[in-house]
Amino acid sequence: MHDDRQLIEERLRRALMERIKPAVYGETVPLRAEIWHAPGEPVPPAEALAASYAPAPIGTAWGPAWGTAWFRFSGEVPAEWTGRDTTDVEAVVDLGFSGGPGFSAEGLIHTTDGIPLKGLHPRQTYAPLSLLEPKNGRVEFYVEGAANPEVLGPRGFQPTTLGDKPAFDTQPGGTPIYRLARADLAIFHAEVWDLILDLEVLQGLQEQLPASEPRRREILRALSRALDVLDFADVPGTATAARAELAEVLSRPAHASAHRLSAVGHAHIDSAWLWPLRETRRKVARTVSNVATLAEEYPELVFAFSQAQQHAWVRDNYPVVWDRLKKAVAAGNIVPVGGMWVESDTNLPGGEALARQFIHGKRFFLDEYGIDTQEVWLPDSFGYTAALPQLVKLSGSRWFLTQKISWNTENKFPHHTFWWEGLDGTRVFTHFPPIDTYNSDLSGRELAHAQRNFAENGSATRSLAPFGYGDGGGGPTREFVAAAHRVADLEGSPRVTIEPPAAFFAAAESEYGAAAPVWSGELYLEIHRATYTSQAKTKQGNRRSEHLLREAELWSAAAVVAGKLADYPYEELDRLWKIVLLHQFHDILPGSSIAWVHREAEATYAEVAADLEAIITRAQSALVDEGTGTHEVVFNAAPHSRHGVPALGASARSGDAAAATIDGNVLDNGLLRVTVDDRGLVTSILDVEAGREVVAPGNAANLLQLHVDIPNMWDAWDVDPHYKNTVRDLTEVDSVSLDVLDGVATAVVQRSFGDSTVTQTLRLQPGARRLDVECDMDWHESEKFLKAAFPLDVHADRWASETQFGHIFRPTHQNTSWDAAKFEIAAHRWVHAGEPGYGLAVVNDSTYGHDVSRTTRDSGGTTTTVRLSLIRAPRFPDPQTDQGRHVVNYALVVGAGIAEAVEEGYRINLPERVVAGGIASVDPVVAVDNDAVVVEAVKLADDRSGDVVVRLYESRGGRASATLTTTFDLTGVDEVDLLERPLSARDRSANTVPLALRPFQILTLRLRR
Ligand SMILES: [Zn+2]
């Protein structure tokens, strides 16, 4: 039984597809097409324009995967068209697009002078003749075609070698993957195009209305009448009459209580993902060109453009596009948002690095556009750290936007507009668009979903909708803008207004700011939990770089302040920071990009490390290069002293403790007695002072556990709960050898399993309360997950893990679905589990993934098991993920509170450096007399005034008073924000500054010399 509605919908669908849409373009004349196959990586336009072109009839194959072809299109505009408005004639080019926008071939139209004009994408295949500026009736232009392959093929997440960097140099050519499909000049019938928009908007609206709504019947009748008057033999000639039948239903105003949507044009461009960084530079240029062209036609267009790095790519590589971008920003069509260098991951970047994301992002927008962005824009990152609200506020921003939490698999997040409270108590006004996408098409279905889904209905009336094709889809289309006009004030639809994000936030905050609910703590994403572990070398590169940057800034500042180095390496540090920040993008650091991206990242991190080592060596040598003695000077970049070497300073190591010993199979340093059995497992750790066994009875610590790890969907991204069901304890051993080496009690344990081997070196240093493990893995598994387990005899109800500028607690139980969903989490340098008066920490120098669980033993005691996630082996998008050799270091810190966890976390990541020098010690630039107050960064001010900038934070979650002392003459102190802008003057007395910090407070001081 078909009711009226179904009949009308079926009639409309067929008419649109077969009759009306094909009538948008009338008469056409073919363009002459020629092609030049660029031999390898992309070349500058000048080189391409000078190449020799061959004829390229429709059907010409082009582009091996990742290859580039340049097309030259030319033709005469027919004389009989010349009376027409040039906006009614368009060039239409289809490069053979397949797949969705952003995941297929793309093109960038250039003039005959090599100036980029507009992108070409699967849903944006036209260029108005006015843009192409024909001369004497003749049009000629070039298109740079990028043969970006569909890495995500029709069968979804299948292993593919399409993500490898092609060997253009050694294997020229390659199989073409696209064929030129269309190149015409065509008459564009605007009236037909408008009719399509009318029909689609009304159809999308009526299908969302309840069957009982009179409005729905009214729209159906109007649609039916419009089709009645449309003559399929002359669609252009009757389109106006058909539209007249729709005018009345399109003119009815929205209900007084209709939801209000702020529509913001957007293109979520992943800075790298299923394509390499070099392609993103081109994707950005195409998208910005499209948006600038669209804004000329629709001056009301607003496009939110995040990621300062992408703006910088335009500036540095496309001067003409940069001019258009700057003009569009000045006109308000393109709105810089986000205030970050990239849309970074926020689970994994270290504290200082996350601060620098804001510093470099906001500063770019200030310097280039004079705009102090207020809204942080992170629609797609994989969970949000509890450290963010304070950083957002200290960067001078007010609002936060994400959408990703709608991806939660277990729990629906309860709010769309709320105050988000961070770990220190700072609150930031936050919005999750209830439209549940950052690539909206503003269809009736999506608009109705946003209105229905909005959790604050009844209390608030507004939400935001980012619309447009991302990732090289070219951003918003003219169809989306035209659809937005039709739903601006339309009965049955939410009211849609194209406006900047700041306008939305200001209105939403004024409407709801006083009453909005509060969400406290991290915004944990209940999916993509394997992104804390996948692509181990990328993660290790990030961690190493962050700590080398700390050292490079600290020692360079110390050397300049001491008058021993003339120049602080401002430019070099700025360049290196930006490389590290770029690689924290939410598909690079999380390990979810193609092989090309990650292999390149490893090479880049190696270069960054070499450059930073050179800066550090230069500064340290300058600091000790005077006097006549010969000293072994130990540099300590950690924020706490060790072996008598002051924090942030250098001196000779003071008297070492007596050597550790080995007795039978027991490693002993007088503080700890560690038993390694003949399986190489740690069956006992006795804390001598506390008189306490640390390993849970009947268990072994540092146990390697191998899980089968086949996620249901997203290989590199996900570890699903079922992975725990299949586990193999690696207890078989190839060899165990114990020895005392240089006073260090050492056990070397070698194991083989599958196609892999692991050699672990356990070290008990003299005087240490720490059992160090160096884990050297030759990893050749597929779809496996390796963890190191520490079953500990402590009754821990909750456990702490380090995050940026502090730590957060999570329960060890799984009482609620919210607790259970956190079965794998990201920690930084340490995790801690303890009971009153006694605890343990596990610290690491390279890894992020952890899980902690607890069981009750028959005796009634509690075993708390802390596990580090060492390595995975997913097959998509990089089928070779993590194959090969990896060395990671971790340690169990025995009898540790949070304070010791913080200290050892820094130490394992900042090994001391021994430098031969003429003088025996280097005083710290600054010293703080309370270990709870941690110095996170010491640097010279970015304004090159020579002021010293010190960033500190309270690290234990308590109140802390301290005195900061400088070794230089202090003439003034300001508290500043992250961008080093003054907040308030601070008291000082001589060279000391009194400090009082609230729990987890971040404090940045500008110290004038
Ligand atoms: Zn993304």
- Which residues, including other chains, have CB under 8 Å from residue 469's CB and lie 6 or more apart? 101, 102, 121, 123, 124, 267, 439, 475, 476, 477
Three-class secondary structure assignment of 421-490: ECCCCCEEEEECCCCCCCCECCCHHHHHHHHHHCCCECCECEEEEEECECCCCCECCHHHHHHHHHCCCC
Ligand 1 centre distance from Cα of residue 685 (Å): 45
CA 413 to ligand 1 centroid distance, Å: 20
- Expressed in angstroms and rounded, the spacing between residue 307 Cα and the centre of ligand 1 is 12
Amino acid at 581: L
Rounded distance, CA 649 to CA 639, Å? 9
| Cα-to-centroid distance, 275 and ligand 1 (Å) | 12
Residue 377 CA to ligand 1 center (angstroms) comes to 12
Ligand 1: centre distance to CA 976 (Å): 32
- Tell how far the Cα of 295 is from the centroid of ligand 1, in angstroms: 25
Region of 730 please: left (phi>0), alpha (psi -120 to 50) or beta: beta
For residue 114, give Cα distances in angstroms to 50, 124, 140, 321, 442: 10, 21, 12, 12, 35
CA of 585 to the centre of ligand 1 (A): 9
User: What pLDDT, on the 0 to 100 scale, is given for residue 933?
Assistant: 98
pLDDT at 1: 42
Q: How far is the CA of 851 from the centre of ligand 1 (A)?
A: 26
Per-10-residue mean pLDDT, the chain, length 1009: 81 98 97 96 96 98 96 95 75 93 94 97 94 94 97 84 85 86 96 98 96 95 98 97 98 98 98 98 98 97 98 98 98 98 98 98 98 98 98 98 94 97 98 95 95 96 97 95 98 98 98 97 98 98 98 98 97 98 98 98 98 98 87 96 94 84 97 98 98 98 98 96 98 98 97 98 97 98 98 98 98 97 98 97 98 97 98 97 98 98 98 92 97 98 98 98 97 97 94 98 97
The catalytic site residues sit at 380
- Going from the Cα of 556 to the center of ligand 1, the distance in angstroms, rounded, reads 36
Task: Kindly report the three-state secondary structure assignment for every residue of 251-277.
Answer: HCCCCCCCCEEEEEEECCCCCCCCCCH
431 alpha carbon to ligand 1 midpoint, in Å?
A: 18
